[in-house]
Structure 1
Amino acid sequence: MAAEHEIRADYDRDTIAIYQAYSPAIANAALEAGRFIPPFSFHRMTWIKPSFLWLMHRSNWGLKSAQERVLCVRVKRAGWERALSLACLTSFEPGAFANPDEWAEQFAAARVHLQWDPERSLRGAGLPYHSIQVGLSRHVIREYVDEWVAGIEDITPRVRKMYDFLQSGQADKAKRLLPPERVYPVSPELGRRLLIGGS
């Protein structure tokens, strides 16, 4: 059984995979340039998520408007860990903050926001443990785009194939196409601050 809060991701020695769903205009520009460029916005928060199935739930398998293209973005682990080091939880948690005022002060100044949402099953049902969502503010988006992103892949065809399998009652075939997510290690100090590994 998974811990209530842990990072599960497809990662290797150097990079971690995160998933984002965009409009065709943003996706096409990013894929052609090999990096995010306008119409991608550098002035609003962008959320990065290592849980493939959470994004499938959020984007309805890439069927929601302006989320039709699903990208797998390979992010350097050094960048991902920098984002975590800058992150503040989006709500007060007694185990992580001395009091609500301390949380409010840290949250107001944070350049990165972090929240835990129920993980999702292949069919979108909520699970009794959580997946991580990391929100990059406009103050760190340039760093993300220019220094952290190691590669961008369009996985929309794979997503469509999985969705079609699910619609036709072939969940086993869809499951075989899932990325190989496993627990991502973090330091005890970071774990305490962001509730990773705990309840």
Structure 2
Amino acid sequence: MKLLTEKYTDQQERLPTNGKQIIGQFDEEKIIVYQAYKPSIANFAVTNKFLGGKDYSYTRMTWIKPGFIWMMFRSGWATQENQERILAISIGRSHFETILKQAVHTSFKPVIYPSSEDWNTAMKQSDVRIQWDPDHYPNGKTLNRKAIQLGLKGQMAEQFAKKWILDIEDITDFVIEQKKNMDTSGIGELIVPKEDIYTLSDSALIKQLDL
């Protein structure tokens, strides 16, 4: 899936600045999620079109993020240690929604789980974690909007890494260039991946995700 871009200012006018939103780049079949890795893992992934190699661990939890700016905040625009390379990873929407359906919140939410015991049981039975974190402006300032990130472990992490990836694009050069554009010319010159709200029709899933 080729990364489509737009001016950040155009995106800012179109997207809401509050609420919990799944925001990303997608088409009818695929969605892009972002991950940041150290060079050795990124090089293997780009060459082989899956995640693996001597420095990659299938036993650790791996987090995927459909929102570009949230990924930039988390990785410091590709400057944080072991997050120097940014990958745009395409997966099928059906697999993305399989991940969503198994997602369990990292903290107890009474509106979703009848009791803390039920939540603990759900945590033990699922290989997916969901967190809603404050989204950010490109300069790092916090938005009222919440962004989703999904943690995968166990079988889910291995399926994602080995079987579900359709394409991997290293966008590190793009990230570095756009950070430079923003620093020298301001947000008005910032180009970002084109993103929209990813809507769900399953009311039970919407409730489960606390959307």
TM over 0.5: yes
RMSD: 1.2
Work out the CA distance in 1 between the residues paired with 2:117 and 2:93: 32
Provide the aligned length of Structure 1 versus Structure 2.
194
Partner of 2:4: none
Partner of 2:199: 185
Offset of 1:148 from its aligned partner? 1.5
SS of the residue 1:133 aligns to:
strand
Partner of 2:3: none
2:150 maps to which of 134, 143, 165: 134
Work out the CA distance in 2 between the residues paired with 1:184 and 1:78: 13
Q: TM-score, normalised by structure 2?
A: 0.88
2:92 maps to which of 68, 72, 76: 76
Q: Is the contact between residue 23 and residue 67 of structure 2 (CA under 8 Å) also seen in structure 1? A: yes
Offset of 1:140 from its aligned partner? 1.2
Q: Is the contact between residue 79 and residue 147 of structure 1 (CA under 8 Å) also seen in structure 2? A: no
Work out the CA distance in 2 between the residues paired with 1:47 and 1:2: 23
Q: Is the contact between residue 89 and residue 165 of structure 2 (CA under 8 Å) also seen in structure 1? A: yes
Partner of 2:5: none
Work out the CA distance in 1 between the residues paired with 2:186 and 2:177: 11
Q: Is the contact between residue 117 and residue 131 of structure 1 (CA under 8 Å) also seen in structure 2? A: yes
After superposition, what is the alpha-carbon deviation per residue over 1:134-173, rounded to whole angstroms, capped at 9, x for unaligned? Answer: 0001221221123321100010011001110122143211
Q: TM-score, normalised by structure 1?
A: 0.93
2:175 maps to which of 159, 170, 175: 159
Work out the CA distance in 2 between the residues paired with 1:166 and 1:146: 36
Matched, 1:15 2:30: yes
Work out the CA distance in 1 between the residues paired with 2:164 and 2:49: 13
Offset of 1:107 from its aligned partner? 1.4
Q: Is the contact between residue 17 and residue 72 of structure 1 (CA under 8 Å) also seen in structure 2? A: yes
Q: Map 1:85-100 to 2 at 5 A.
A: 85-100=101-116
The structure 1 segments of at least 4 consecutive aligned residues displaced by more than 4 Å after TM superposition are: none
Work out the CA distance in 1 between the residues paired with 2:147 and 2:118: 25
Amino-acid identity (%): 32
Offset of 1:2 from its aligned partner? 4.8
Consecutive unaligned residues in structure 2, runs of 5 or more: 1-15
Offset of 1:3 from its aligned partner? 5.2
